[in-house]
Amino acid sequence: MLNFKKYSILAFSLISLSAAAQKAKPLFDGKTLTGWKAVAGAAPYKVEDGMIVGTMTKGTPNSFLITEKEYGDFILELDVKLEGETTNSGVQTRSHIKPEGNGGKGLVFGRQVEIDPSPRAWTGGIYDEARRLWLYPLELNPSAKPLYKKNEFNHYRIECIGNETKTWVNGTPVAYVIDTLDQSGFIGLQVHGIGNNLDNDGKKVYFKNINIQTEGLKAKAFPKGIYTVNLTPNALSVYEKSEGYKLLFDGKSNAGWVGAYKTAFPAKGWKIADGIISVEPSGGAESTNGGDIVTKDEYAAFDLSFEFKLTPGANSGVKYFVTLSENNSGSAIGLEYQVLDDELHPDAKLGRDGNRTLASLYDLITSKKEARYLRPIGSWNNGRVVVYPDNRVEHYLNGVKVLEYTRGSAEFKKLVAMSKYKNWKNFGEAPKGHILLQDHGNKVDFRTIKIKKI
């Protein structure tokens, strides 16, 4: 006869051990910095009252306290308090170091979860330290900006599971990035360099209750309506599909696209290879080779995202509300998100006040962008256009909102009257239209073109 009591106790013990193995474990023992090492900068870290305390120090670059061990998939939770409102900090995830970088002091690079008490309020956003820069600024989720509590401890939850990184601040979801880089790496705590802001010299950042779970991980669901930065080329996540996104370019074919004012896709001037759709170079003239291409479908209110890569001196554009009713020569008419090398292409100096520069509403509104949010020519940049049902429109560049306007408003009409579009009746006010990729005779690459109807 089986001893059910014995087996029940054994089964319960195994379940208990399994559950215990899946619990979060301290990454910091509360007493020493065992398992951690300071790198890159000279700002000091020490243990006080069960906390890791870093002190901002003049004359040193960003300083990091990193784990000696590397981690792959994990859920990390910790509490952080940052003194001051012009300071900065962050938590590195799956990161790395180039020992020869930073003048031999070591250069830390990799995804960082931002801690930002400044009026910008991007706490919980995701920055790619010393590499691609901002991946998820909180312009993409402005409702999360008020979550940070100044000069108090804030609780952070960071999930790194597979290619997905999700963040929470004080229990509320903030950022969602899907990335193909860095399957493992160290975890790091940052004391940011203070530059010339000597008022921050001596201010402190406090880290406590640092716990990590590496087994039995279960991803926590995000609510609907949070924008996802998906850096997997030409792919949609389950979450994005549930949000209603679809790909306008499948990475393999010209399905869904035709030439502007044509019934088929251009026989020349465009190339599809290696998951990229490219305008072929042809001397820089507008729509004289393959010509523009447009979606077969039309869109009214929508959220459109795309990646683009410019060659030196290149010019192109992404147009929307293209009706093809004008039957004009040259590029088809529509509102245009300018895609341009501002440094080398002469169009950047034309127009009014820079309204033909990168991410501008071409010839109408200048994009307000800072150089630190740009990625170099030859790198992939992210563009985004959001059109709301009430005709409000927003342009984003690498996650940062660079302009907004309202189609059909008095201000909009005034701008049109001063532009090259002044002779087109009701320009930009169509109820719906096609999406267009422009052939301006320069090589420009596009990929990960996705859209969601609003």
Domain extent listing, the chain = 23-213, 236-453
The answer to whether the CB of 395 falls within 8 A of the CB of 373 is no
Give Dmax over CA atoms of the chain in angstroms.
Answer: 95
Show the tokens assigned to 120.
């910008």
CATH of domain 236-453: 2.60.120.560
Burial class (CB in 10 A: 0-12, 13-18, 19+), 68: exposed
Predicted local distance difference test score (pLDDT) of residue 3: 53
Nearest Cα to Cα of residue 58 among 206, 207, 199, 204: 199
Q: DSSP string covering 21-69, please?
A: HHS-EESS-SS--TTEEEESS---EEEETTEEEEE--TT---EEEEESS
Query: CB within 8 A of 421, min separation 6: which ones?
Result: 333, 363, 364, 427, 428
CA 279 to chain CA centroid, Å, is: 25
Q: Which fold has domain 23-213?
A: Jelly Rolls (2.60.120)
> What is the 8-class DSSP label of residue 319?
E
- Same topology, domains 23-213 and 236-453? Answer is yes
- Using DSSP's 3-state secondary structure scheme, residue 238 falls into helix
Q: With contact defined as beta carbons under 8 Å apart, do 165 and 159 qualify?
A: yes
Average pLDDT of adjacent 10-residue blocks, the chain of 454 residues:
46 42 87 97 96 96 97 98 95 97 93 97 97 96 97 98 98 98 98 91 97 96 96 98 98 98 96 97 85 98 98 98 93 97 96 97 97 93 98 98 98 97 96 97 97 97
Question: Which of these, 346, 368, 58, lies nearest to 203 by C-alpha position?
Answer: 58
Q: Which residues contact 414 (CB under 8 A, 6 or more apart)?
A: none
Cα distance between residue 113 and residue 176, in whole Å: 11
Residues 23, 323: Cα–Cα separation, whole Å: 57
Q: Are strands 302-310 and 444-453 parallel, antiparallel or unpaired?
A: antiparallel
List, in order, residues 6 or more apart from 384 with CB less than 8 Å away. Answer: 303, 304, 305, 306, 394, 395, 396, 397, 399
How many residues would you count in the chain? 454
Q: Which residue has the tokens 């979606």?
A: 295
DSSP secondary structure of 116-152: --STT--TT-EEEETTTEEEE-GGG-GGGGGG--TTS
Cβ pair 356, 347 in contact under 8 A: yes
Collapsing DSSP to helix, strand or coil, 400 comes out as: strand
The predicted structure's pLDDT at residue 287: 79
- Which residue, 102, 113, 91, is CA-closest to 41? 102
Token pair of 425 as six digits = 């009746």
Q: In what order do the strands lie in the sheet with 315-322?
A: 257-259, 293-295, 434-437, 315-322, 335-340
Could you give the CA distance from residue 414 to residue 419 in angstroms, rounded to a whole number? 9
By the 8 A CB rule, do 288 and 318 touch? Answer: no
Report the run of H or E that residue 258 belongs to, with start and end.
Answer: strand 257-259
- Measured CA to CA in angstroms, residue 284 lies from 6, 156, 348 at distances of 82, 49, 14
Distance (Å, whole) CA 163 – CA 285: 41
- Alpha-carbon distance 84 to 203, whole Å? 7
pTM for the whole thing? 0.92
What is the per-residue pLDDT for 22? 67
State the DSSP H helix or E strand holding residue 410, giving kind and residue range, or none if neither.
helix 410-417
Whole-angstrom Cα distance, residue 448 to residue 27? 38
- What tokens appear for 441 in the block? 């005779």
